[in-house]
Copies of this chain bind each other. A is one copy, B any other.
């Protein structure tokens, strides 16, 4: 069994981007973060994205707003960033407070600055296989892992557990696209699927993004399959100081005996997300300066 080191892959991408950005004369790529409220997870995510941007040489701008911000105020900020030619990418950190419609906010961003890939136009571009679209970071990160680990999808049976917009459904669209790192036969399973095990056992590549701790057991995996675990679940663990541990959607110990390659949790798909966000930002810069 071969452990896929997502941290290493993400760090390679960051290094490549650092080189690329250092070669840019004049204005560097710039990403603007919008954070509403002080949700501790959001604060920490944005901080980490900010840090990675700085490391690469991408200029980060951070705009924080009170939880009570109106839609008009938020949209006015987005409009101003859309108009500003020095800003290449815009990210609105999810979740927003409940009085704001998140999809409407994402759709307010110029689709060509939507480096998080949540705009309806970028969802459509994935369907239409437009290479100038922005793909949301987790599914794009899984494709990147496959590329760099030599996991060929062409003609393979890829089984995706979960049909969420941000992972399962979008990844299934990427895997079924035409092209060298796609061309897979794709099955999408979810909570309504019958005979789940019968289907998952056919997977050459099994992607678990269903949000249920360790639900994929060894008997659901074909000998030699590649297992990509997107789940990040907290389960109680009294032996740990913080009282919980993080586990994926896959029972790692069982899967490790059967899979040819597997992503751990943490340290698998998770670290890819910020790296791809930065890749999207450099892509946005390139497209806007083409």
| Residues of chain A at the chain B interface (Cβ within 8 Å) | 103, 119-128, 130, 154-155, 157, 163, 165, 169-170, 172-173, 176, 178, 183-190, 192-194, 199
Contact = CB atoms under 8 A, between A and B. Distances in A.
Closest 9 CB pairs of A and B: A124-B124, A123-B124, A120-B124, A187-B187, A123-B127, A185-B193, A183-B192, A155-B192, A155-B194
B155 A176 contact: no
Contact of A126 (B127, B130, B170, B190): B127
B185 A194 contact: yes
Interface centre among A121, A155, A165, A185, by most B CB within 10 Å? A185
Contacts of A190: 176, 183, 185
A54 B121 CA distance: 33
A108 to B, nearest CB: 14
A205 B33 CA distance: 45
* Copies in the assembly, this chain: 2
A176 B176 CA distance: 15
B127 A173 contact: yes
A173 to B, nearest CB: 7
Nearest to A103: B128
A130 B184 CA distance: 27
Contact of A169 (B119, B173, B187): B173
A124 B114 CA distance: 14
Given A170-B127, A173-B169, A176-B163, A185 B185 contact: no
Contacts of A127: 123-124, 126-127, 165, 169-170, 173
22 contacts: A120-B121, A120-B125, A123-B124, A123-B127, A123-B128, A126-B127, A127-B127, A127-B165, A127-B169, A127-B173, A128-B165, A155-B192, A163-B176, A163-B178, A169-B176, A172-B188, A176-B190, A183-B190, A184-B192, A185-B192, A187-B187, A187-B188
